[in-house]
Amino acid sequence: MRPPVKNYDFGFDIGGTKCAVILGGIGGDAPAILAKRRFATADCPSPRACLEKMCALAGELRLESGLPADAFRGVGISCGGPLNPVRGIIQSPPNLPGWDDVPAAEIVSSLTGLPARLQNDANACALAEWRFGAGRGTRDMVFLTFGTGMGAGIIANGALVSGCSGMAGECGHIRLAPDGPEGYGKHGSFEGFCSGGGIARLARARAEAALRSGRPFAWCKSAGQLKDITAKSVAEAADSGDSDAKAVFEESGARLGQALALLVDILNPERIVIGSIFARAEHLLRPAMERAIAAEALPQTASACKVVPAALGEAVGDFASLAVAEENGR
């Protein structure tokens, strides 16, 4: 029996490692994922070949669903930036070499016969968490990725904020300190302190200093182990009670709070939803984060905003691309 949905859409999730095609339906406020196909991005010899494969898979899913062709509204494409969502063009994302000025929305629309909309993955995830996850019911919300990098999507007065060139929300580039781990091409940036790579670099710097002083960390006893440090390994050490690992997360949490205070004062959101590492390591980051917000933000804006972990978990990419399609049909 088919789920009681009103509309059906396709979601295309384009990543540096994997691509996914999702067939989903929107029923009331809840999405239903009916089918999904994945393949390795590297299996395709060119960006166009990749998009053609995704469109072919969408055609197969449409046939297998037994739904009439007119049951489908459109295609939502979620991809890492930079990109131009207004023109539907992917513009050389660092994790997609060769994807230079690719008119993705135009190609997908011409091959599927459906309207296609492109959005960067942070904005797409913001739409998903706002419509279906931890931001549901709000009109002013900020979503932060806090994963490999630090991206953001902004919902203001019930609408996604894109900016004149589609670059609104690139808060990972904000410099929080004169020096510090490099992220987003800048030392001491928000992404440098608050991302998977940034936490690892922060931990390595502390471990190197400890080794030079003759006091090796329990989780890094020699220079040869520096390369093995990851955000995950530091979190595991912190969870086991290691004070040096806890200090790394305390610094990251303090920088997170510093940046959130800026967003809270500038945007006055009702909710800030944070994914990935924050959702998994909230207990390590929140105490220092809350102290920094209290010290830096206006009391009126800070008290009006709740900071919460993302709710959609590993399925956020599927919901994100469908949310982009759903926005196109609203």
111 and 184 part of one domain: no
Work out the burial of residue 192: count CB atoms within 10 Å of its CB; fewer than 13 is exposed, 13-18 middle, 19 or more buried: buried
Specify the number of domains making up the chain.
2
For residue range 84-126, what is the model confidence (pLDDT) as tens digits? Answer: 998 999 999 888 999 999 999 999 999 999 999 999 999 999 9
Sign of CA dihedral 116, 22, 143, 18: negative
* Mean of pLDDT values over 52-75: 93
| Residue 1 placed within a domain | no
48 and 92 part of one domain: yes
Q: Tell whether the model's pLDDT for residue 3 goes beyond 60.
A: no
| Residue 229 placed within a domain | yes
189 and 70 part of one domain: no
Paired with 76 in beta bridges are 11, 117
186 and 231 part of one domain: yes
Q: How confident is residue 1, by pLDDT bands cut at 50, 70 and 90? A: very low
Cα separation, 87 vs 165, in Å, equals: 10
157 and 266 part of one domain: yes
Q: Tell whether the model's pLDDT for residue 288 goes beyond 70.
A: yes
Domain termination residue (choose one: 86, 120, 154)? 120
| Residue 127 placed within a domain | no
| Residue 327 placed within a domain | no
Residues 11, 322 contacting (CB under 8 angstroms): yes
For residue 158, the domain's CATH number is: 3.30.420.40
| Residue 40 placed within a domain | yes
* Mean of pLDDT values over 71-80: 92
% of the chain at pLDDT higher than 90: 77
| Residue 134 placed within a domain | no
Q: Which residue has the tokens 């993705």?
A: 104
| Residue 135 placed within a domain | no
DSSP collapsed to 3 states, 68-115: CHHHEEEEEEEECCCEECCCCEECCCCCCCCCCCECHHHHHHHHHCCC
For residue range 34-46, what is the model confidence (pLDDT) as tens digits? Answer: 999 999 999 999 9
| Residue 214 placed within a domain | yes
56 and 194 part of one domain: no
115 and 147 part of one domain: no
Q: How confident is residue 28, by pLDDT bands cut at 50, 70 and 90? A: low
147 and 212 part of one domain: yes
Domain span at 49: 7-120
Reading the block at residue 42, the tokens are: 């590297």
